[in-house]
Amino acid sequence: MKACTVKAFLTITVFSITFSVEAQIPAGDGYFWYRGNTHTHARYSDDSEINDVPMIARWYREAGYNFLLLSEHNNHLLERKIFCYDRLSRPKENFIMICGLELSMSRHVTALGIDRFLSGERSLREAVTMTLSAGGVPVLNHPMDPVVTAKEFIETEGLNHIEIVNGGRLLDTPASIALWDSVMSEPGGRIIYAVAADDNHYSRQRVGRGWIMVKAKSLSKSEIIESIRSGNFYPTTGVILDFTRTDGKSFHVSSQNGDTIKFFGRYGKLLGSEAGKDASYLFNGDELYVRAEVTDRQGKTAWTQPVMIKGGGNH
Protein backbone atom coordinates (compact mmCIF):
# COMPACT_ATOMS: atom_id res chain seq x y z
CA MET A 1 0.00 0.00 0.00
CA LYS A 2 2.77 2.35 0.95
CA ALA A 3 4.83 1.56 -2.16
CA CYS A 4 1.74 2.25 -4.17
CA THR A 5 1.29 5.67 -2.64
CA VAL A 6 4.92 6.61 -3.23
CA LYS A 7 4.52 5.67 -6.85
CA ALA A 8 1.45 7.87 -7.13
CA PHE A 9 3.46 10.85 -5.92
CA LEU A 10 6.35 10.21 -8.28
CA THR A 11 3.93 9.84 -11.13
CA ILE A 12 2.53 13.26 -10.43
CA THR A 13 5.94 14.89 -10.24
CA VAL A 14 7.53 13.38 -13.29
CA PHE A 15 4.72 12.66 -15.67
CA SER A 16 2.19 15.21 -14.64
CA ILE A 17 1.12 16.21 -18.12
CA THR A 18 0.07 12.75 -19.20
CA PHE A 19 -1.08 11.36 -15.89
CA SER A 20 -2.42 14.34 -13.99
CA VAL A 21 -5.84 12.70 -13.78
CA GLU A 22 -4.26 10.32 -11.27
CA ALA A 23 -3.02 13.18 -9.16
CA GLN A 24 -5.13 12.36 -6.15
CA ILE A 25 -3.24 10.66 -3.35
CA PRO A 26 -5.61 8.64 -1.15
CA ALA A 27 -5.56 9.69 2.51
CA GLY A 28 -8.01 7.10 3.86
CA ASP A 29 -11.64 7.39 4.97
CA GLY A 30 -12.64 8.86 1.62
CA TYR A 31 -10.14 11.71 1.80
CA PHE A 32 -7.36 12.67 -0.61
CA TRP A 33 -4.20 14.74 -0.38
CA TYR A 34 -4.12 17.73 -2.73
CA ARG A 35 -0.97 19.67 -3.49
CA GLY A 36 -1.19 23.44 -3.76
CA ASN A 37 0.57 26.77 -3.70
CA THR A 38 -1.11 29.73 -2.02
CA HIS A 39 1.34 32.50 -2.86
CA THR A 40 2.29 33.24 -6.47
CA HIS A 41 2.56 36.45 -8.47
CA ALA A 42 2.25 37.22 -12.16
CA ARG A 43 4.11 39.88 -14.11
CA TYR A 44 0.75 40.85 -15.56
CA SER A 45 -0.50 42.43 -12.40
CA ASP A 46 2.80 43.83 -11.21
CA ASP A 47 4.18 45.77 -14.13
CA SER A 48 3.21 44.38 -17.50
CA GLU A 49 0.41 44.29 -20.01
CA ILE A 50 1.55 40.86 -21.15
CA ASN A 51 -0.79 38.35 -19.58
CA ASP A 52 1.47 35.61 -18.24
CA VAL A 53 -1.17 34.23 -15.85
CA PRO A 54 -2.24 31.27 -18.06
CA MET A 55 1.42 30.28 -18.50
CA ILE A 56 2.08 30.38 -14.75
CA ALA A 57 -1.02 28.31 -14.03
CA ARG A 58 0.23 25.79 -16.60
CA TRP A 59 3.65 25.57 -14.90
CA TYR A 60 1.98 24.53 -11.66
CA ARG A 61 -0.47 22.19 -13.37
CA GLU A 62 2.39 20.48 -15.20
CA ALA A 63 4.40 20.18 -11.99
CA GLY A 64 1.60 18.09 -10.49
CA TYR A 65 -0.14 20.72 -8.41
CA ASN A 66 -3.87 20.41 -7.76
CA PHE A 67 -4.57 24.03 -6.91
CA LEU A 68 -3.00 27.46 -7.21
CA LEU A 69 -3.78 30.88 -5.78
CA LEU A 70 -2.60 33.86 -7.83
CA SER A 71 -1.93 36.19 -4.90
CA GLU A 72 -1.75 39.50 -6.71
CA HIS A 73 -0.67 42.58 -4.74
CA ASN A 74 -3.93 44.42 -4.21
CA ASN A 75 -2.20 47.81 -4.34
CA HIS A 76 -1.17 47.15 -7.96
CA LEU A 77 -4.61 46.07 -8.98
CA LEU A 78 -6.83 49.03 -8.27
CA GLU A 79 -8.08 49.16 -11.82
CA ARG A 80 -8.22 45.48 -12.68
CA LYS A 81 -9.76 44.24 -9.44
CA ILE A 82 -8.83 40.66 -10.24
CA PHE A 83 -8.91 38.10 -7.43
CA CYS A 84 -10.18 34.96 -9.22
CA TYR A 85 -8.94 33.06 -12.23
CA ASP A 86 -11.64 30.44 -12.46
CA ARG A 87 -11.29 30.18 -16.23
CA LEU A 88 -7.87 28.61 -15.71
CA SER A 89 -9.24 25.74 -13.61
CA ARG A 90 -9.09 22.31 -15.27
CA PRO A 91 -11.24 20.07 -13.05
CA LYS A 92 -10.87 17.12 -15.41
CA GLU A 93 -7.11 17.36 -14.94
CA ASN A 94 -7.43 17.71 -11.16
CA PHE A 95 -6.37 21.33 -11.14
CA ILE A 96 -8.34 24.31 -9.84
CA MET A 97 -7.64 27.96 -9.12
CA ILE A 98 -8.38 29.37 -5.65
CA CYS A 99 -9.56 32.99 -5.44
CA GLY A 100 -7.39 35.35 -3.44
CA LEU A 101 -5.04 38.31 -3.18
CA GLU A 102 -1.93 39.33 -1.30
CA LEU A 103 -3.15 42.29 0.72
CA SER A 104 -0.15 44.61 0.44
CA MET A 105 -1.28 48.06 1.54
CA SER A 106 -0.13 47.33 5.09
CA ARG A 107 1.45 44.13 6.45
CA HIS A 108 1.39 41.49 3.68
CA VAL A 109 -1.35 38.93 4.17
CA THR A 110 -2.66 36.30 1.77
CA ALA A 111 -6.43 36.63 1.62
CA LEU A 112 -7.18 33.02 0.68
CA GLY A 113 -10.56 32.06 -0.72
CA ILE A 114 -12.17 35.49 -0.64
CA ASP A 115 -15.43 36.23 -2.45
CA ARG A 116 -14.70 39.84 -3.43
CA PHE A 117 -11.85 42.22 -4.24
CA LEU A 118 -10.32 43.77 -1.12
CA SER A 119 -8.30 46.96 -0.75
CA GLY A 120 -7.73 49.90 1.56
CA GLU A 121 -6.51 48.00 4.61
CA ARG A 122 -4.40 50.15 6.94
CA SER A 123 -3.08 47.56 9.39
CA LEU A 124 -2.53 43.86 9.92
CA ARG A 125 -5.71 43.77 11.96
CA GLU A 126 -7.73 45.35 9.15
CA ALA A 127 -6.25 42.95 6.60
CA VAL A 128 -7.35 40.03 8.77
CA THR A 129 -10.82 41.42 9.49
CA MET A 130 -11.47 42.22 5.84
CA THR A 131 -10.32 38.76 4.72
CA LEU A 132 -12.58 37.03 7.23
CA SER A 133 -15.57 39.17 6.30
CA ALA A 134 -15.04 38.17 2.65
CA GLY A 135 -15.22 34.49 3.64
CA GLY A 136 -11.47 33.99 3.35
CA VAL A 137 -8.59 32.66 5.41
CA PRO A 138 -5.86 35.20 6.29
CA VAL A 139 -2.25 33.99 6.21
CA LEU A 140 0.55 36.16 7.61
CA ASN A 141 3.17 36.20 4.84
CA HIS A 142 6.97 36.30 5.30
CA PRO A 143 6.66 37.11 9.03
CA MET A 144 10.29 38.27 9.25
CA ASP A 145 9.91 40.88 6.51
CA PRO A 146 9.11 43.06 8.33
CA VAL A 147 9.13 41.32 11.69
CA VAL A 148 5.82 40.67 13.41
CA THR A 149 6.18 40.02 17.15
CA ALA A 150 4.44 37.18 18.98
CA LYS A 151 2.48 39.77 20.98
CA GLU A 152 1.24 41.52 17.85
CA PHE A 153 0.28 38.20 16.29
CA ILE A 154 -1.61 37.03 19.38
CA GLU A 155 -3.46 40.33 19.60
CA THR A 156 -4.63 39.98 16.01
CA GLU A 157 -7.76 37.96 16.55
CA GLY A 158 -8.76 35.71 13.69
CA LEU A 159 -5.18 35.33 12.44
CA ASN A 160 -4.44 31.60 12.73
CA HIS A 161 -2.06 30.93 9.81
CA ILE A 162 1.62 31.77 9.36
CA GLU A 163 3.89 31.31 6.34
CA ILE A 164 7.01 29.53 7.68
CA VAL A 165 8.52 28.79 4.25
CA ASN A 166 8.65 31.59 1.68
CA GLY A 167 10.40 30.61 -1.55
CA GLY A 168 12.05 34.03 -1.85
CA ARG A 169 13.22 34.12 1.76
CA LEU A 170 14.28 30.57 2.61
CA LEU A 171 16.85 31.78 5.16
CA ASP A 172 14.01 33.22 7.25
CA THR A 173 12.46 29.80 7.90
CA PRO A 174 14.12 29.12 11.32
CA ALA A 175 13.11 32.56 12.66
CA SER A 176 9.59 32.15 11.28
CA ILE A 177 9.31 28.77 13.02
CA ALA A 178 10.54 30.36 16.27
CA LEU A 179 7.76 32.94 15.96
CA TRP A 180 5.22 30.18 15.26
CA ASP A 181 6.30 28.41 18.48
CA SER A 182 6.24 31.65 20.47
CA VAL A 183 2.71 32.53 19.37
CA MET A 184 1.56 29.11 20.58
CA SER A 185 3.59 29.23 23.82
CA GLU A 186 3.14 32.78 25.14
CA PRO A 187 0.38 33.43 27.69
CA GLY A 188 -2.82 34.04 25.75
CA GLY A 189 -1.41 32.27 22.71
CA ARG A 190 -3.25 29.80 20.55
CA ILE A 191 -2.81 27.01 18.05
CA ILE A 192 -1.48 28.37 14.75
CA TYR A 193 -1.23 26.52 11.44
CA ALA A 194 1.93 26.72 9.35
CA VAL A 195 2.01 27.26 5.58
CA ALA A 196 4.81 26.81 3.01
CA ALA A 197 4.62 28.70 -0.28
CA ASP A 198 6.77 29.72 -3.23
CA ASP A 199 5.99 33.46 -3.24
CA ASN A 200 6.90 32.96 -6.85
CA HIS A 201 7.58 36.05 -8.97
CA TYR A 202 7.17 34.72 -12.51
CA SER A 203 9.95 32.13 -12.46
CA ARG A 204 9.47 28.53 -13.50
CA GLN A 205 12.61 27.64 -11.52
CA ARG A 206 10.90 28.75 -8.36
CA VAL A 207 7.98 26.35 -8.72
CA GLY A 208 8.14 23.84 -5.88
CA ARG A 209 10.28 25.48 -3.20
CA GLY A 210 7.50 25.06 -0.65
CA TRP A 211 3.88 23.98 -0.80
CA ILE A 212 1.03 22.57 1.25
CA MET A 213 -0.64 19.18 1.10
CA VAL A 214 -4.34 19.56 1.90
CA LYS A 215 -6.53 16.72 3.08
CA ALA A 216 -10.01 17.03 1.58
CA LYS A 217 -12.84 14.87 0.31
CA SER A 218 -12.74 16.33 -3.16
CA LEU A 219 -10.99 18.98 -5.18
CA SER A 220 -13.38 21.92 -4.92
CA LYS A 221 -12.72 25.48 -3.87
CA SER A 222 -14.88 25.21 -0.76
CA GLU A 223 -13.37 21.87 0.36
CA ILE A 224 -9.81 23.14 -0.05
CA ILE A 225 -10.51 26.45 1.66
CA GLU A 226 -12.30 24.89 4.62
CA SER A 227 -9.58 22.25 5.08
CA ILE A 228 -6.97 24.99 5.15
CA ARG A 229 -9.08 27.04 7.57
CA SER A 230 -9.34 24.12 9.99
CA GLY A 231 -5.66 23.08 9.80
CA ASN A 232 -6.28 19.95 7.78
CA PHE A 233 -3.06 20.29 5.81
CA TYR A 234 0.70 20.42 6.27
CA PRO A 235 3.54 22.46 4.77
CA THR A 236 6.50 20.79 3.08
CA THR A 237 9.58 21.39 0.98
CA GLY A 238 9.63 17.83 -0.33
CA VAL A 239 8.92 15.26 2.37
CA ILE A 240 5.52 13.61 1.97
CA LEU A 241 3.57 12.34 4.97
CA ASP A 242 1.32 9.30 4.97
CA PHE A 243 -0.55 10.35 8.09
CA THR A 244 -0.38 11.92 11.52
CA ARG A 245 -2.51 10.42 14.24
CA THR A 246 -3.21 11.05 17.89
CA ASP A 247 -5.31 9.07 20.37
CA GLY A 248 -4.91 11.64 23.14
CA LYS A 249 -1.97 9.74 24.65
CA SER A 250 0.55 9.81 21.85
CA PHE A 251 1.30 11.37 18.48
CA HIS A 252 2.19 9.09 15.60
CA VAL A 253 3.76 10.32 12.37
CA SER A 254 4.40 8.31 9.23
CA SER A 255 6.18 9.61 6.15
CA GLN A 256 6.88 8.22 2.71
CA ASN A 257 10.37 9.58 2.24
CA GLY A 258 11.64 11.11 5.51
CA ASP A 259 14.70 9.86 7.39
CA THR A 260 14.41 11.60 10.75
CA ILE A 261 11.39 12.63 12.82
CA LYS A 262 11.74 15.20 15.59
CA PHE A 263 9.05 16.20 18.05
CA PHE A 264 8.83 19.69 19.49
CA GLY A 265 6.79 21.32 22.25
CA ARG A 266 6.45 24.62 24.10
CA TYR A 267 8.76 27.34 22.68
CA GLY A 268 10.11 24.83 20.18
CA LYS A 269 11.72 22.61 22.82
CA LEU A 270 13.03 19.37 21.33
CA LEU A 271 11.10 16.50 22.94
CA GLY A 272 12.48 13.56 21.01
CA SER A 273 14.12 12.41 17.79
CA GLU A 274 13.93 9.13 15.93
CA ALA A 275 15.49 7.82 12.74
CA GLY A 276 13.23 6.25 10.15
CA LYS A 277 10.00 6.90 8.29
CA ASP A 278 7.69 6.40 11.28
CA ALA A 279 7.81 7.54 14.88
CA SER A 280 5.61 7.99 17.92
CA TYR A 281 5.79 10.38 20.82
CA LEU A 282 4.13 9.57 24.13
CA PHE A 283 2.66 12.68 25.78
CA ASN A 284 3.72 13.41 29.34
CA GLY A 285 0.91 15.92 29.74
CA ASP A 286 2.73 19.20 30.22
CA GLU A 287 4.03 19.87 26.70
CA LEU A 288 1.22 22.35 25.95
CA TYR A 289 1.40 21.22 22.31
CA VAL A 290 3.38 18.76 20.23
CA ARG A 291 4.37 19.09 16.59
CA ALA A 292 6.75 17.09 14.41
CA GLU A 293 9.31 17.84 11.73
CA VAL A 294 10.21 15.12 9.26
CA THR A 295 13.41 15.60 7.26
CA ASP A 296 15.29 13.66 4.65
CA ARG A 297 19.04 13.55 3.99
CA GLN A 298 18.85 16.45 1.56
CA GLY A 299 17.27 18.65 4.21
CA LYS A 300 13.77 18.58 2.71
CA THR A 301 11.22 18.92 5.48
CA ALA A 302 7.56 18.41 6.25
CA TRP A 303 6.04 20.01 9.33
CA THR A 304 2.97 18.60 11.01
CA GLN A 305 0.46 21.01 12.46
CA PRO A 306 0.53 21.12 16.27
CA VAL A 307 -1.58 18.91 18.50
CA MET A 308 -2.83 20.61 21.64
CA ILE A 309 -2.18 18.66 24.86
CA LYS A 310 -5.02 18.69 27.37
CA GLY A 311 -4.05 20.03 30.77
CA GLY A 312 -0.64 21.26 29.56
CA GLY A 313 -1.74 24.78 29.02
CA ASN A 314 -1.15 28.26 30.22
CA HIS A 315 -3.85 29.39 27.80
Q: Which is nearer to Zn ion, 37 or 141 (CB)?
A: 141
- 108 is a site residue for Zn ion (CB under 5 A): yes
Helix (H, G, I), strand (E, B) or coil at 252: strand
Chain residue at closest Cβ approach to Zn ion: 108
As measured in angstroms, the least distance from the Cβ of 145 to Zn ion is 8
The contact pattern for Zn ion, residues 67-96, with x = CB under 5 A and - = no contact, is ------------------------------
Stated as kind and residue range, the H or E segment containing 98 is: strand 96-98
Q: Which is nearer to Zn ion, 102 or 223 (CB)?
A: 102
Q: Which of 306, 314, 270 is nearest to 290 (CA)?
A: 306
DSSP bridge partners of 246: 251
As measured in angstroms, the least distance from the Cβ of 152 to Zn ion is 17
As measured in angstroms, the least distance from the Cβ of 104 to Zn ion is 6
Helix (H, G, I), strand (E, B) or coil at 22: helix
As measured in angstroms, the least distance from the Cβ of 193 to Zn ion is 19
**Size of interface with Zn ion, in residues (CB under 5 A):** 4
Span of 100-108, 249-257, 259-267, 294-302 interacting with Zn ion by CB under 5 A? 100-108
- 296 is a site residue for Zn ion (CB under 5 A): no
Q: Which is nearer to Zn ion, 159 or 216 (CB)?
A: 159
- 161 is a site residue for Zn ion (CB under 5 A): no
- Angle CA 130–224–63, to nearest 5: 115
As measured in angstroms, the least distance from the Cβ of 134 to Zn ion is 19
User: Cβ distance 214 to 112 under 8 Å?
Assistant: no
**CA atoms within a 13 Å half-sphere pointing along the CA-CB vector of 285:** 1
Alpha carbon distance 129, 237 (integer Å): 30
* Strand residue runs (E) in 198-258: 200-201, 211-216, 233-236, 241-246, 250-255
Q: Which is nearer to Zn ion, 74 or 141 (CB)?
A: 141
- 199 is a site residue for Zn ion (CB under 5 A): yes
User: Cβ distance 290 to 264 under 8 Å?
Assistant: yes
As measured in angstroms, the least distance from the Cβ of 35 to Zn ion is 19
DSSP bridge partners of 90: 95
Residues at the site binding Zn ion, with contacts judged by CB under 5 A = 102, 108, 141, 199
